[in-house]
Amino acid sequence: MDLAQLMEACNQYAKPAGFRPAYGTAGFRAEASLLHSTVFRCGLLMAARALKTGAATGLVVTASHNPVTDNGVKLVEPTGYMLDQSWEAWADKLADAEDAEALCAIIRDLYQKEDIPYGSGVVMLAHDTRPSAEELIKAAGSGVKALGGLPIVCGLLTTPQLHWMVRHCNNSLKHTESCYYEEIATGFSHLVHSCKAKRQVLTVDCANGVGAEKLKALAERLSGKLDVTLRSTGEGGLNDGCGADYVQKERRFPAGMEDCQNGARCASLDGDADRLVYFQRLPGGQLQLLDGDRIAVLAALLIRDILDRLSHDAASPSVGIVQTAYANGASSQYIREQLRLETAVTATGVKHLHAAAERFDIGIYFEANGHGTVLFRPALIERLHKLGDSQEAAKDLLALLGMVNQAVGDALSGILLVEAALRRRQWGLNDWAQLYTDLPSRQLKVKVKDRSVVTTADAETRAVTPEGLQSRINESVRGAPSGRAFVRPSGTEDVVRVYAEAQTQQAADKLAQQVARHVHELAAGIGAAP
């Protein structure tokens, strides 16, 4: 490590005065013009992480479902997973260093405490469609080079594609974008090859993001097997009145799809294509949402159908579903009582769900926002390969393994998962929707000076601070029929998110408003200055 060269590079990417970046659920996000120093420092971090692990790491410049004026960075482990949580503190220290001298001191401390060897680490870089991406990718590459690393610029990709590529690269597998399409398309083709159900056209809101180009490429690879019509492909603003987050949170039709026909099969991606929700228009004109909870249930039904045909030479594989407190209570009840599957509840953030899902032979995790996937334990994969030549069910499970992204939630892979599951059961969206009836819910957010003043416990279902907040929430919940509510600080902005559900929509709305008022009264005015 050349300290003089490092100091010079650090001086080129000075942190804006007063800017206090904080590592959120998956990385950093802010208004794009503030982020050059942060992304440069993340380049430093991932170059060091590559040296520590002796394998390629990754970095994606994206702000996911945020407005186009924002940007951010997501960090990728050699496994393809999100950054190891033990290194999040280093990310915060580097991002918050006031000047080049302080930054170099932290780098020296990092090398010493983590016992990092000197050398050249490989970091794979990608970005979404935001106009600020070009300069920020240069900043990331400069950070990698400043530690003597090798940045590999992979260009315009969805976030899950870069995760997939890093994972495959480190497993000595083909890891080009073309290979990504080939692998997930091959799995899908196997799972639906004997289905007799008539194909239905799927109309997809692409949030004016990177998913439009990439889903088009996937559909071309699956010509004759997957029929899609793409909307919001770039003609409007990124995530502007469209996208999975908009549809899931607002329960409104996305821009460009307000005229969709009753019963039409529709879906929405988010800006970097790692979230997916389905929806349809009901005869009365209202939107019916089929969110991540329902995708998890549908995946479990597909897996159960296949496992029922699998002859076991050992114990039956364990299957579990991981959710967060945002999961609708009706979905959790259906999983326990009808599917009779083991469940786990974790804090919000796929890094928590992913870790919990690894405890099962087949772990299914989806947040209600549509971010999730299905994980297969390595020991089970080995068993399936041994059975594959003799059992069609084992072949089906291996096809499913190839179709779903083992690194992270992936909206393109998720579309194939949903379409395969529906087609094999000869179901439409109405059949899927009738599995259970969601309890009415409402989500709100309260602007605060400092989100850290709200802390939680028990998988974010109980507020610890400010003092007295949880008792107020409990009192409001007692007054709502079948009521449930919780609050949590956002992982990306200074707001506190409120979730409430109850027996009726009116009761859920009222409960959410009451809880939001409690947050405003007890937390909105305390903490750091805006």
Is 18 a known ligand-binding residue?
no
Q: Count of CB atoms within 10 A of residue 423's CB?
A: 20
Is 142 a known ligand-binding residue?
no
Sheet holding 265-269, edge to edge: 228-231, 202-205, 265-269, 276-281, 287-290
Tokens in use for 25? 């659920």
Start-end of H helices in 273-365? 292-307, 329-334, 350-357
Question: In the 8-state DSSP scheme, what is residue 86?
Answer: G
Task: State how beta strands 122-127 and 150-156 pair.
Answer: parallel
Start-end of H helices in 339-466? 350-357, 378-387, 392-403, 411-425, 429-433
- What is the identity of the amino acid at 218? L
CA distances from 481 to 473, 476, 512 (A): 14, 10, 13
Task: Write the DSSP string, 31-73.
Answer: EGGG-HHHHHHHHHHHHHHHHHHTS-EEEEE--TTS-TTEEEE
CA 360 – CA 484 distance, rounded (Å): 28
Start-end of H helices in 451-504? 469-478
Is 332 a known ligand-binding residue?
no
Is 77 a known ligand-binding residue?
no
Is 64 a known ligand-binding residue?
yes
CA 14 – CA 46 distance, rounded (Å): 19
Is 497 a known ligand-binding residue?
yes
CA angle centred on 285, ends 284 and 288, rounded to 5°: 95
- What is the identity of the amino acid at 525? G
Helix (H), strand (E), coil (C) string for 29-41: EEEHHHCHHHHHH
Tokens in use for 298? 């549908």
Q: Judging by beta carbons within 10 Å of its beta carbon (0-12, 13-18, 19+), is residue 517 exposed, middle or buried?
A: middle
455 near 465, Cβ under 8 Å? yes
Active site residue 64: yes
Is 272 a known ligand-binding residue?
yes
Radius of gyration (C-alpha) of the chain in whole angstroms:
23
Is 296 a known ligand-binding residue?
no
Is 270 a known ligand-binding residue?
yes
Identify the bridge partners of residue 446 per DSSP, sorted by sequence position: 496
Is 488 a known ligand-binding residue?
yes
Tokens in use for 323? 């959710």
Q: Which of 37, 64, 331, 441 is catalytic?
A: 64
Is 489 a known ligand-binding residue?
yes
Which residues, 6+ apart, have CB-to-CB distance to 359 below 8 Å? 320, 344
Tokens in use for 475? 């009192």
Quick one: the chain helix, strand, coil %, rounded to 5?
Answer: 45, 20, 40
- What is the identity of the amino acid at 304? R
Which residues are tagged catalytic?
A: 64
User: Annotated binding site, which residues?
Assistant: 64, 270, 272, 274, 367-369, 488-492, 497
User: Annotated binding site for substrate, which residues?
Assistant: 367-369, 488-492, 497
User: Annotated binding site for Mg(2+), which residues?
Assistant: 64, 270, 272, 274
